[in-house]
Structure 1
Amino acid sequence: MTSFDEYLHTVLTEGGGEAQRDGSATIEAQHLLLAIAAQVGTEPQRMLASVGLDHQALRDALHREFEHSLGAAGVSLAELNVPRAQGYRRGNPNVGASTKLALERGFHSVARKRDLQPAHLLLGILRAEVGTVPRTLVLAGVDRAELQATVERALAAA
């Protein structure tokens, strides 16, 4: 197993834990992003931290995105009596569509699998044009294009 394979396994496992804590039956890109932010000392985690996104800041931004999305539909989270997610209890969450797309985007950015680095996973997530992650980054005040360019520069220099 390569170091990238180990990193990917760790992020997918942690992402599964994040999905379960959210009560989600699927591991989505936002769960991977939370897992990446939790991998202290890794290059992708440092890149997120450089724009103010540690694990808690990212979780807070995801909550704001959830509230904002409900508001766009005319629903106020404050007026709802929504119970806190109790976690998904039926086995491990499946890999969701946004995760599959992020993996494809990250993997297709290299010619050979052996060239994959942890930052490729972050790059695959950041390249999403629509969805929860791009909306969350906007609400967090993060310039997604600039963060993506930072990741690309780091990968080019490696």
Structure 2
Amino acid sequence: MHAVMERAAAEAQAMGSKDIEAEHLLLAVAREPEATTRELLDSAGLDYQTIKDALQSEFEQSLGAAGISVTDRDMLRPRRSIRRPSDAGASAKLVLERGMAAVGDKKDLRPAHILLGLLELKAGTVPRALALAGVDRDELKARTRAALPRAGR
């Protein structure tokens, strides 16, 4: 799990965030080499770039909903943070909490548990981005639960 958190911190830094949030965990999980998680994401048509594009679309739609129109795409590009975030923000804490709820012991936490925690989110950037990507979250959640070891369900 340390590797996922490190990748999430790198994503947060690249996006100019001061904390690691759920979207950074999603991007980190998308880069996960572990076969089960890879297969789950692939089955939903998700890869790193698809998720990145969906997050960008979600950002643009959120701006539009707030009445903000940005015609200069360069204005939307994140500015890399100087400092690498080490703290989990509220959405990441919720994901980790929900992922941990699906596992008996913290040492058994796997990337698929984080994916499950992400899929459990009811509101926020990640659910909106996954909807924009055309993901059936309930179906992916069911497949993720089925793929977890018995003790981790």
Structure-2-length-normalised TM-score:
0.89
**Percent sequence identity over matched residues?**
50
Q: What is the aligned length?
A: 151
When structure 1 is superposed on structure 2, of 116-125 and 20-29 the one drifting more is 116-125
Q: C-alpha separation between the residues in 2 aligned to 1:132 and 1:64?
A: 10
RMSD: 2.0
Whether the 8 Å CA contact 2:54–2:132 is kept in 1: the answer is yes
Equivalent residue in structure 2 for 1:15, among 3, 8, 21? 8
Higher relative contact order (CA 8 A, sep 6+): 2
- In the TM superposition, residue 121 of structure 1 has moved relative to its aligned partner by 1.2
- In the TM superposition, residue 86 of structure 1 has moved relative to its aligned partner by 2.5
Structure 1 match to 2:137: 144
Structure 1 match to 2:42: 49
Alignment of 1:25-40 (within 5 A): 25-40=18-33
Structure-1-length-normalised TM-score:
0.86
Could you say what secondary structure the match of 1:90 adopts?
A: coil
Could you say what secondary structure the match of 2:148 adopts?
A: helix
Residues 91 and 14 (structure 1), Cα distance of their counterparts in 2 relative to 1, 3 Å cut: closer
Residues 22 and 39 (structure 1), Cα distance of their counterparts in 2 relative to 1, 3 Å cut: same
Structure 1 match to 2:89: 96
- In the TM superposition, residue 59 of structure 1 has moved relative to its aligned partner by 0.2
- In the TM superposition, residue 106 of structure 1 has moved relative to its aligned partner by 0.7
Q: 1:86 aligned to 2:71?
A: no
Whether the 8 Å CA contact 1:19–1:93 is kept in 2: the answer is no
